[in-house]
Structure 1
Amino acid sequence: MMASAESPSDDLKYILVSHAPDSDSWWNTIKNGIAVAGDQMGVSVEYRNPPTGDLADMARIIDQAAASQPDGIITTLSDFEVLKGPIKSAVDQGIDVIIMNTGSPEQAAEVGALMYVGQPEYDAGLAAGKRAARDGISSFLCVNHYISSPSSTERCQGFADGLGVELGNQMIDAGQDPSEIKNRVLAYLSSNPDTDAVLTLGPTSADPTMLALAENGMAGEIYFGTFDLGEEIVNGIKGDVIQWGIDQQPFLQAYLPVVILANYDRYGVLPGNNINSGPGFVTKEGLAKVEEFAGEFR
Structure 2
Amino acid sequence: MRNTMSNKNLPLRVTPLVEARFGLDGGAMFGIIPRPLWGKTNPPDENNRIDMACRCLLVEYGDRTVLVDTGIGSKWSDKERGIYKIHDQDDGLRAALDERELSTEAIDDVILTHLHFDHAGGVSEFADDAETVRATFPNATHWVQRRNWSWANSPSARDGGSYRKLDFGFFETSDDAPPLELVDGIAEIMPGIEVLPVHGHTFGMQLVKVETAEHTFVHLADLIPTSSHMRDPYVMGYDLQPLVTVEEKREVLYEAAKNDWVLIFEHDPKMGCARVEHDERGRPKAVPVSL
Higher Cα Rg, which structure = 1
TM-score by length of 1: 0.29
Structure (1 or 2) with the greater strand fraction = 2
TM-score by length of 2: 0.29
